[in-house]
Amino acid sequence: MGAIRRADTALYREIGLAYEDAKAKGMYKGQYAINTVAEYWAEGTQWWFWSNIEFYDGSTRIQTPEDLLAYDPRSIISWKGSISAITTPPTLLRP
């Protein structure tokens, strides 16, 4: 997060606002993502790239970029401008 804070202050601010919004809504209960803004960014980025374990918030499953978009669309708004929109599992991208 330190590099983002220095390189893109607007993105850093938006990530923080998205995190605070998720916290206020009681999202990510029992999940590491809600511990700190840095973990919110890290865990969400892992879901975005299909590299995180699945998480259930009640009956809502989060494991894919689409799951994350449905569950926490504000997080995707932050990331879409900075991270390539890869939605294919990395294992399928190999030659």
Which residue(s) pair with 60 in the sheet?
Answer: 57
Q: What is the DSSP string of 13-75?
A: HHHHHHHHHHHHTTTTTTSGGGS-HHHHHHHHHHHHTT-S--EEETTEEE-SHHHHHHH-HHH
pTM for the whole structure:
0.79
Confidence of residue 87 (pLDDT cuts 50, 70, 90): low
Report the pLDDT value the prediction gives residue 35, as an integer from 0 to 100.
Answer: 95
Write the pLDDT tens digit of every residue in 6-27: 888 888 898 999 999 999 999 9
Residue 84 scores a pLDDT above 60: no
Domain ranges of the chain: 2-87
Neighbouring CB atoms inside 10 A of 41's CB total 22
Higher pLDDT, 91 or 15: 15
